[in-house]
Amino acid sequence: MVTISKRLETIARHCPQGARVADIGSDHALLASYLLVEGIASYVIAGELNEGPYQAAVRQINALPQVKHRASVRKGNGLAVLSPGEVDVILIAGMGGQLIVSILEQGAEKLKGVSRLILQPNVGEELVRRWLYENGWQLVAESILQEDGIIYEILVAIPGDPDLPYAGQDRSREELMRLGPFLWAEKHPLLRTKWLREKEKWNRVLASLARSDKPEAAKRMDQVKQELEWIDGVIACLRTAKP
């Protein structure tokens, strides 16, 4: 048995049965191990850039004699560890949205034949949704969860019609890129928690700008007030929503 966090377990639930999976930036390879031991993945590639986590991944997989023949631990940058057509699913979790996007961007060739991306940005979810939209990937599911006080979002996409999840909603595509089209449609209770936290953050920024005597502070304050107004509108909708 491999014990993993609620975050990693939620990611694993998005993984189709029998898939060949690459976990890029696998660190300890716990998720890869779980996918094998639980009989979810038929084969896993654990990719890691850095020596320490790479060695930890090698040790972790070697400690699982029953399944290790269905795993390959590889050291390298992003999707460079993959050969075209080797996997059905690519997982990238626990990194910033910008880094996830740059890994996908640099490894575009390796995405051919991949049928599902499961991405869990720690920050910058909007950047990831935008990249998916602009590169022909259709969001098909989103999860949001809280663990140890931190809110995480998981985005799942397949090659398809990127417009579909943004159609027929009461918010523009641009807004939904920030909110998450599925999370918004569902009016998930944690979405309200997330945006209340964003509001607190921007209120702190506003308070610090108010103390500033820099000439650009006044203009920035106007922008922050606009952002706060938008967030208030979002929170109001989520308050009245019946999930």
Question: What's the CA dihedral at 132, 137, 141, 144 to 10 degrees?
Answer: -10
> Which residue in the block uniquely carries the two structure tokens 């809280």?
146
Q: Which two tokens stand for residue 232?
A: 């208030």
Residue 40, number of CB atoms within 10 A of its CB: 17
Report residue 98 CA to chain centroid gap. Answer: 11
Instruction: Report in angstroms the alpha-carbon separations of 40 from 18, 70, 139, 145.
Output: 6, 12, 21, 21
Number of residues near ligand SAM (by CB under 6 A)? 16
What is the nearest approach in angstroms of ligand SAM to the Cβ of residue 91? Answer: 8
Map residues 57-96 to x or -, x wherever contact with ligand SAM holds by CB under 6 A.
--------------------xx--------------xxx-
Name the segment binding ligand SAM (CB under 6 A); options: 24-32, 109-117, 171-179, 194-202. Answer: 24-32
> Which residue in the block uniquely carries the two structure tokens 């990719």?
47
Q: What is the rounded distance in angstroms from the CA atom of residue 192 to the CA atom of residue 21? A: 33
Q: Between residues 100 and 209, which has the closer beta carbon with respect to ligand SAM?
A: 100
Name the segment binding ligand SAM (CB under 6 A); options: 18-26, 109-117, 146-154, 185-193. Answer: 18-26
Name the segment binding ligand SAM (CB under 6 A); options: 32-40, 47-55, 135-143, 199-207. Answer: 47-55
Decide: is 125 part of the binding site for ligand SAM (CB under 6 A): no
Name the segment binding ligand SAM (CB under 6 A); options: 46-54, 140-148, 181-189, 215-223. Answer: 46-54
Decide: is 26 part of the binding site for ligand SAM (CB under 6 A): yes
Residue from 43, 46, 48, 162 touching ligand SAM (CB under 6 A): that is: 48
What is the nearest approach in angstroms of ligand SAM to the Cβ of residue 132? Answer: 18
> Is the separation of the CB atoms in 88 and 61 below 8 Å?
no
Residue from 12, 53, 60, 157 touching ligand SAM (CB under 6 A): that is: 53
What is the nearest approach in angstroms of ligand SAM to the Cβ of residue 224? Answer: 30
> Is the separation of the CB atoms in 206 and 224 below 8 Å?
yes
Burial pattern 131-159, b for ≥16 Cβ within 10 A else e, equals bbbebebbbbebbbbeeeeeebbbbbbeb
> Is the separation of the CB atoms in 243 and 189 below 8 Å?
yes
Decide: is 107 part of the binding site for ligand SAM (CB under 6 A): no
Decide: is 25 part of the binding site for ligand SAM (CB under 6 A): yes
Q: Between residues 26 and 33, which has the closer beta carbon with respect to ligand SAM?
A: 26
| Contacting residues toward ligand SAM, per CB under 6 A | 24-27, 47-50, 53, 77-78, 93-95, 99, 103
